[in-house]
A = this chain, B = another copy of it.
Amino acid sequence: MNKEVILRLTKYRRLLYKLKNLGLEKVFSNNLSDPIGISSALVRKDFSLLDITGQKRGGYEIEDLIEKLDSILGRDKTKNVIIIGCGRIGSALLEYEGFKTENIKILAAFDRDPKIINSNANIPILNTSEIKSFAESNDIEVAIIAVPDIEAKEIFEELKKSGIRGFLNFAPIELRCSSECTGVDCPVKCVIHNVNIGLELEHIFYQLKFREEPHDE
């Protein structure tokens, strides 16, 4: 199953949970395709590949769809992550409401500033030196990096040594695990998502600019 299919399945499931919470019991492929911005034919194609079939009067049972998607995507398991760096972004993520609905649990955060370390906090904030032992004993696979750009590369190397293979990076620097690693096809099978907020904004400005003044280079 390729990356695009997986991403669509996660989007279907998010939407299905929201519709279920609103009291709906059935959906049609259009109900799913419109909010996601794809064709209804693609929804039906994805579902038929997964052996999900609609009813003869049309429509899919939401419960059935969720159950099937859960078994494929592994919903049942809580996804444990750690956060490295407790500055503004890291602290905001510590209290981010959106994680709850995703079954994502932040087990601990790490910082090297002794002043903000607090092992008794609701989510403990530990010293960066404890990353390896914590990650190993808690079987952590995924980390959120929210340190300044000059610290990101070093932390990244340390996390890899601690057995972490999935990275969501908010430091404004592009992380790759080696010169062979493209993030998609990586020799040590790591998965890196770089979220560069400044670059995202810059990109929006350029897209607006180039829409207005077409260049022919």
Chain A interface residues (CB < 8 Å from chain B): 1, 3, 6-7, 10-11, 14, 34-37, 49-50, 72-74, 79, 81, 88-89, 91-93, 95-99, 101-102, 104, 141-142, 144, 148-149, 165-168, 172, 174, 176, 179, 181-183, 189, 191, 193, 195-211, 215, 217
Contacts and interface: CB of A to CB of B under 8 A. Distances in A.
B102 A201 contact: yes
A37 B182 contact: yes
Q: Which 8 A-B pairs have the closest CB atoms?
A: A92-B92, A88-B92, A102-B198, A166-B204, A98-B198, A98-B172, A191-B207, A6-B206
Give the oligomeric copy count: 2
B210 A6 contact: yes
9 contacts: A1-B210, A6-B206, A10-B202, A74-B209, A88-B95, A98-B172, A193-B203, A193-B204, A195-B197
A104 B195 contact: no
Given A34-B179, A96-B197, A3 B191 contact: no
Given A81-B201, A102-B202, A166-B207, 4 more contacts: A6-B210, A88-B95, A96-B198, A99-B201
